[in-house]
């Protein structure tokens, strides 16, 4: 990637961590050298990203003793900030993203049904139940993404798991926009349970189809929301 793309990627990752509640309001970020190392970029790139985050009102920087960069949530509601992000995607890009994500999760579900043992599905079951009871959209979004990463891990495929993790970084907090609906949250949780059941019973095609539909439905809702903006 060129430097601009790296800066944008860092802004997106830190911004998503804030939107998803992984970084709390007022929390101090690691020092520049440490944070740059964690993100795999140069300190110059990180400083440009921090400047952009300051302009967005998501980070403040204090000088002197006890200084550093701190999370600072602006007054604009998180949903509005995410809608601004969503406007940066075209409907074609969102559909393409949904196709790619569905293909990854479908392949992972099919392989998990072939390879995993019933006793190895504890993480997936726990995540599905946590999603079923999560109250906040940010928590639901985290759990939604985690389920599909864990599904790839259950497939015993390091490459699929890496692909899922990379895709989660790209999608970020956008699922918050559709998972705030309680009825849809329940629908997703039920579909996740059905994926687990199909994987446990070794039903490869059913597991794949259910996993694909879960992603496709979310992508369709994001496209509809993008069209409505």
- Please list the pLDDT of the chain residue by residue as tens digits (229 residues): 578 889 988 998 898 888 777 788 899 999 999 999 999 999 999 999 999 999 888 899 888 787 899 998 776 667 888 898 899 999 999 999 999 999 999 999 999 999 999 888 999 999 999 999 999 898 899 999 999 999 999 999 999 999 998 888 888 889 999 999 999 999 999 999 999 999 999 999 999 999 999 999 999 999 999 999 9
User: Phi then psi for 71, rounded to 5 degrees?
Assistant: -65, 135
Sketch the domain layout of the chain as residue ranges: 3-75, 79-228
Domain 3-75 part of CATH 3.10.105.10: no
Q: Could you tell me which residues come within 8 angstroms of residue 20 by beta carbon, excluding any fewer than 6 positions away?
A: 138, 141, 142, 172, 173, 176
The CATH superfamily label for domain 79-228 reads GntR ligand-binding domain-like (1.20.120.530)
Q: State pTM to two decimals.
A: 0.80
Q: Max CA-CA distance within the chain? A: 60
- Helix (H) / strand (E) element for 55: namely helix 43-55
Q: Nearest CA to 136 among 72, 185, 171? A: 185
């Amino acid at each position: 990637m060129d430097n601009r793309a790296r800066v944008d990627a860092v802004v997106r990752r830190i911004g998503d961590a804030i939107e998803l509640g992984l970084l709390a309001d007022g929390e101090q970020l690691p020092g520049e050298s440490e944070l740059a190392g964690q993100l795999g970029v140069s300190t110059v790139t990180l400083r440009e990203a921090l400047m952009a985050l300051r302009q967005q009102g998501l980070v403040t920087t204090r000088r002197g003793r006890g200084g550093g960069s701190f999370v600072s949530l602006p007054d604009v509601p998180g949903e509005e900030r995410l809608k601004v992000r969503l406007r940066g995607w075209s409907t074609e890009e969102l559909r393409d993203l949904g196709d790619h994500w569905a293909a990854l999760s479908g392949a992972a579900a099919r392989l998990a049904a072939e390879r995993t043992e019933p006793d190895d599905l504890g993480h997936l079951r726990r995540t599905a139940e946590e999603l079923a009871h999560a109250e906040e959209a940010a928590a639901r979004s985290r759990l939604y993404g985690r389920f599909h990463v864990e599904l790839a891990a259950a497939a015993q495929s390091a490459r699929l798991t890496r692909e899922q993790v990379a895709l989660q970084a790209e999608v970020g907090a956008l699922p918050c926009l559709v998972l705030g609906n309680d009825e849809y949250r329940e629908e997703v949780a039920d579909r996740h349970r059905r994926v687990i059941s199909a994987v446990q019973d070794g039903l490869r095609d059913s597991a794949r189809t259910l996993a694909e539909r879960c992603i496709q439905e979310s992508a369709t809702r994001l496209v509809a929301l993008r069209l409505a903006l």
